[in-house]
Chains A and B, each alone.
Chain A
Amino acid sequence: MKKINQMNLAQRTCPLLGALLLSGAAFSASAVEWNSVSGKTVELFSPGQAGWEWVLTESDHSAAKSVKKGTNCKECHNGEQPKMGKLIASGEKIEPAPVSGNPGHIPVEVKFAYDKERLYVQLKWQETSQNSQQDPDYQAKVALMMSDGTVKATKIAGCWSACHMDSNGMPNAESGQDLGKYLFASRSKISRSGGGKNLKPASDIAALLESGNFLELWRAKLNPAKPAVAVDGYVLDAIHENTSPSISAKSSYAKGQWTVELSRNLKQAGKGYLDFVAGNVYQLGLSVHDSHTDERHHHVSFGYTFALDSGRADFIAKKL
């Protein structure tokens, strides 16, 4: 290898360009100057097996009546996420299969921005010391679920109302089933163990979708030094993933810190997409599957809100 001071300009520049290209393979240049966007830290925590029916049952969750009346979880629990998460992650409460090394909570920095065309969300968090091989394919995954408020429960608890006591890995799951997330509105009857089998007719489900009664779903599946795998879809009677996503996902991983950017057009044709318009407030729940965890072993957020440019919301997307 030649000494640096003997190299000509091209010889000096090529390695530099090469390094830039390599780093770009993991995180191609974002359209957003994220350093100029202010964000907030959201505490995500281990939810254990506290499905929506659990939250709505007074002997399990003493504030069930308040929840049914529309009180947002944060009104009592804001600031308690680390404590709750640690209690659950230790296996002491509503967690029969704790993951070793789970700290119980993950602080995630969240930023929103938008321009004429697209909405952008950036998530940043430090990987935990969990020891899990539940998902050997992906080191981490993130998910956002959003509503324009049509799903009333999102104003109370974000995406919590999509999680049920008879879903996979939950106490009332039936063996051999594959039941993921769904909304109460898609079921004709709900019991304390869920509403899994009591599906409404397809025409009712179609009408619910048409009327905005769904959660838009954004997902990114992540491995270090590999492009993020974007998935989008919606949750109504089940999780519906589009064969070809409309969202973009970018990620980078350095010294245990994940940085993920998700974005899509403000308006998107097709079923199960919200229109993002300035002046409206949107409901949000987010989750991180950290360190190869899967299914219910994610860390989740309470319900938050976001708006474009201005408004009364937890997050205001900066206009670029």
Chain B
Amino acid sequence: MIHKIWQSLIKPSKMYAAGLLLLIGVVVGVLGWGGFNWGLELTNTEKFCISCHEMESTVYQELKETIHYSNPSGVRATCPDCHVPRPWVYKIIRKIQASNELYHHFMGTLDTPEKFEAHRRELAEHVWRVMKETDSRECRNCHSADSMNLMAQSQRARTRHEQATENGETCIDCHKGIAHKDVSKEIQKEKEQAAEPDFGLDL
């Protein structure tokens, strides 16, 4: 059976015009590619992300308390806005990596609040590391330094943003914990306690 199908595929058609076959191929290709992307984009929705209770009962509830969920302008950031790259190649790489998340979902690695808390720092540090490496690419999906009206910001925000630009810093350097429970301070504290302070004696 397979041999017959293979034979029919490798020989030129006697019955159908090449143009017809080409047209069918184009239609199948469009439907296939479109279908693939449609399916991919279904996994790029908040609804899909929070269909896993590990996400819905933890980080999603935390997000709902933040400015990225509700704010004066009514612009909301959902899970994929921050956690899935928009450029196609990076998106596909991320989706392939996400098979690891499917594995851990089925293995129940984070399926209780206690397990989630035990892994929270590891998960957070992973996300921060990737954001740092990509110069906060996902933040820049919506936020652009060029569009930022510094004069409309508070003095403190204006000063810090100007300093960040001068120091070559990226969004995630300061804005850890902007959307979920912030564990960066406790991590910072542990690092500080383990090391000598870098106070200059001339201060």
A58 — nearest CB in chain B belongs to which residue? B188
Interface residues of A in 17-65 (CB under 8 A from B): 52-53, 56-59, 62-63
Measured CB to CB, the closest approach of chain B to A237, in angstroms, equals 13
Count chain A residues whose beta carbon lies closer than 8 angstroms to a beta carbon of B: 27
Distance, CA A187 to CA B203, complexed state (A): 11
Task: Pick from A69-77, A225-233, A282-290 the stretch touching chain B.
Answer: A69-77
Structural contact, A184 and B203, CB atoms closer than 8 A: yes
Structural contact, A77 and B156, CB atoms closer than 8 A: yes
Distance, CA A57 to CA B192, complexed state (A): 8
Distance, CA A153 to CA B193, complexed state (A): 24
Structural contact, B160 and A192, CB atoms closer than 8 A: no
Check A59/B156 contact, CB under 8 A, given A66-B163, A68-B203, A191-B197. no
Structural contact, B201 and A68, CB atoms closer than 8 A: no
Structural contact, A59 and B188, CB atoms closer than 8 A: yes
Structural contact, B160 and A190, CB atoms closer than 8 A: no
B202 at the interface (CB under 8 A from A): yes
A136 at the interface (CB under 8 A from B): no
How many of chain B's residues touch chain A, expressed as a range?
20 to 34
Measured CB to CB, the closest approach of chain B to A31, in angstroms, equals 38
Q: Which of A63, A79, A185, A192 contacts B197 (CB 8 A)?
A: A192
Give chain B residues whose Cβ lies under 8 Å from the Cβ of A59: 185-186, 188-189, 192
Measured CB to CB, the closest approach of chain B to A272, in angstroms, equals 19
Give chain B residues whose Cβ lies under 8 Å from the Cβ of A152: 202-203
Structural contact, B160 and A78, CB atoms closer than 8 A: no
Structural contact, A62 and B174, CB atoms closer than 8 A: yes
Distance, CA A156 to CA B200, complexed state (A): 14
Distance, CA A53 to CA B201, complexed state (A): 12
Structural contact, A192 and B201, CB atoms closer than 8 A: no
Distance, CA A190 to CA B174, complexed state (A): 27
Distance, CA A308 to CA B121, complexed state (A): 55
Count: A-B pairs, CB below 8 Å: 57
Binary A-proximity of B176-203 (CB < 8 A = 1, otherwise 0): 0000000001101100110011111111
Measured CB to CB, the closest approach of chain B to A55, in angstroms, equals 10
Interface residues of A in 152-195 (CB under 8 A from B): 152-153, 156, 161, 184-185, 187, 190-192
Structural contact, B201 and A184, CB atoms closer than 8 A: yes
Give chain B residues whose Cβ lies under 8 Å from the Cβ of A156: 203
Structural contact, B202 and A185, CB atoms closer than 8 A: yes
B198 — nearest CB in chain A belongs to which residue? A68
Structural contact, A75 and B174, CB atoms closer than 8 A: no
Q: Identify which of A52, A59, A185, A191 gathers the most chain B CB atoms within 10 Å of its CB.
A: A59
Distance, CA A210 to CA B200, complexed state (A): 21
Structural contact, B199 and A76, CB atoms closer than 8 A: no
Give chain A residues whose Cβ lies under 8 Å from the Cβ of B186: 59
A80 at the interface (CB under 8 A from B): yes
Interface residues of B in 127-156 (CB under 8 A from A): 155-156
Give chain B residues whose Cβ lies under 8 Å from the Cβ of A66: 160, 163
Distance, CA A75 to CA B163, complexed state (A): 11
B159 at the interface (CB under 8 A from A): yes
A57 — nearest CB in chain B belongs to which residue? B192
Structural contact, B201 and A75, CB atoms closer than 8 A: no
Distance, CA A77 to CA B186, complexed state (A): 24
Give chain A residues whose Cβ lies under 8 Å from the Cβ of B188: 58-59
Structural contact, A56 and B197, CB atoms closer than 8 A: yes
Distance, CA A152 to CA B199, complexed state (A): 13
Give chain A residues whose Cβ lies under 8 Å from the Cβ of B201: 184-185, 187, 190
Measured CB to CB, the closest approach of chain B to A45, in angstroms, equals 15
Measured CB to CB, the closest approach of chain B to A268, in angstroms, equals 26
Give chain B residues whose Cβ lies under 8 Å from the Cβ of A78: 155
Measured CB to CB, the closest approach of chain A to B175, in angstroms, equals 11
Structural contact, A184 and B202, CB atoms closer than 8 A: yes
Measured CB to CB, the closest approach of chain B to A311, in angstroms, equals 24
Could you list 13 A-B pairs, sorted by A, with CB under 8 Å? A56-B203, A68-B203, A71-B159, A76-B155, A77-B156, A79-B155, A80-B156, A156-B203, A184-B201, A185-B201, A185-B202, A190-B197, A190-B199
Partner-B contacts on A (CB < 8 A): 52-53, 56-59, 62-63, 66, 68, 71, 75-80, 152-153, 156, 161, 184-185, 187, 190-192
What 5 pairs between A and B have smallest CB-CB spacing? A59-B188, A76-B156, A59-B189, A75-B159, A153-B203
